[in-house]
């Protein structure tokens, strides 16, 4: 009987360790987290991407996440208030904003006149959802601070995540977009035409946390993301060190 119990316990342990670590993450992290998951030797990782607001609501509603990674501290605070996190959030990366256009476009001056000229009569500025997608929230904050918001407020094409905002520009559906600088590296059809100063919006940070229902390997993968190897993967994907 003892041998049977031992066999069953070993079988269960092997099955448990084979379960993938389920990560629900902000869409802007797709390139970096896909690469990090491929580098991790501790097991397999299942990755699900969406805008941070959508990710937070999915996890709060019971989506089977072991780790949640968002692009805005406020969404993580909201999620923490729902009682679903098992650890305090850690910030492991940062980013900057940029204006993108089709590859080959000339540099853009951040003035109302130049933006109006580039948008033309019917063009729109692609951005993440201004209420739920962090890149949209940061972007609106920057446009207001730079005195540009009034000129573009009625010409925003909002997307449900920042990668979809970039896709509007990549497909030629919008002449300009505001995305993270790291996003522009992920699609050869777009290029940065203007950098947005980092002091005109709140610091862009990526908080991550293990959920209360996480499997046994979740903390191991989160620790890997914070390791020198994990951090080198993020730097290669265009992400920055967390703001000090």
What is the CATH number for 31? 3.40.190.10
Distance CA 240, CA 57 (A): 26
209 contacts 88 by C-beta, under 8 angstroms? yes
Residue 143 lies in a domain: yes
144 and 71 fall within a common domain: no
Give backbone dihedrals phi and psi of 142, rounded to 5 degrees, phi first. Answer: -65, -45
Looking at residue 17, its pLDDT comes to 52
Q: Are residues 27 and 69 in the same domain?
A: yes
Residues 62 and 119 in one domain: no
Please indicate, yes or no, if residue 12 is contained in any of the structural domains.
no
Domain span at residue 52? 17-94+205-236
Q: Which two tokens stand for residue 55?
A: 């990710």
As a whole number of angstroms, the distance between CA 51 and CA 109 comes to: 29
51 in Cβ contact with 196 (< 8 Å)? no
Domain count, the chain: 2
| Confidence (pLDDT) at 12 | 39
User: Which residues, listed in sequence order, are joined to residue 94 by a DSSP beta bridge?
Assistant: 205, 240
Give the pTM.
Answer: 0.87
Q: Are residues 164 and 116 in the same domain?
A: yes
**119 and 168, same structural domain?**
yes
Is residue 176 in some structural domain? Answer: yes
Pairing of strands 45-50, 190-195: unpaired
Same domain, 175 and 210: no
Q: State the pLDDT at residue 242.
A: 82
Dihedral sign for Cα 58, 143, 198, 77, please. negative
Is residue 102 a part of any domain in this protein? Answer: yes
Please list, in sequence order, all residues whose beta carbon lies within 8 angstroms of the beta carbon of residue 115, skipping any fewer than 6 positions away.
108, 125, 148, 151, 152, 176
Say if residue 57 is in the same domain as residue 178: no
Q: Tell me if 151 is assigned to some domain.
A: yes
The verdict on 122 and 190 lying in the same domain is yes
Low-confidence ranges of the chain (pLDDT < 70): 1-17, 244
Q: Do 168 and 214 lie in a common domain?
A: no
Structure tokens at 80: 């923490």
Please tell me whether residues 182 and 106 are part of one structural domain: yes
**Would 120 be classed as within a structural domain?**
yes
In a domain, residue 150? The reply is yes
Query: Looking at residue 9, what is its pLDDT?
Result: 41
């Amino acid at each position: 009987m003892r041998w049977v119990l031992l066999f069953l316990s070993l079988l269960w342990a092997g099955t448990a360790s084979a379960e993938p670590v389920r990560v629900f993450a902000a869409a802007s992290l797709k390139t970096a987290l896909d690469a990090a998951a491929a580098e991790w030797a501790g097991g397999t990782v299942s990755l699900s991407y969406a805008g941070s607001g959508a990710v937070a609501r999915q996890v709060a509603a019971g989506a089977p996440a072991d780790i949640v990674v968002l692009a805005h501290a406020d969404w993580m605070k909201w999620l923490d208030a729902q009682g679903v996190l098992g650890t305090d959030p850690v910030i492991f990366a940062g980013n900057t904003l940029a204006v993108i256009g089709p590859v080959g476009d000339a540099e853009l001056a951040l003035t109302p006149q130049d933006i109006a000229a580039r948008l033309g009569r019917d063009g729109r500025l692609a951005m993440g959802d201004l209420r739920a997608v962090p890149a949209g929230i940061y972007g609106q904050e920057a446009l207001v601070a730079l005195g540009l918001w009034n000129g573009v407020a009625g010409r925003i094409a909002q997307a449900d995540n920042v990668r979809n905002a970039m896709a509007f520009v990549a497909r030629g559906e919008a002449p300009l977009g505001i995305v993270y600088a790291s996003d522009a590296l992920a699609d050869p059809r777009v290029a940065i035409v203007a950098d947005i100063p980092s002091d005109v919006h709140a610091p862009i940070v990526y908080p991550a946390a293990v959920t209360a229902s996480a499997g046994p390997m979740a903390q191991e993968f989160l620790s890997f993301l914070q390791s020198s190897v994990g951090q080198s993967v993020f730097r290669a994907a265009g992400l920055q060190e967390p703001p000090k």
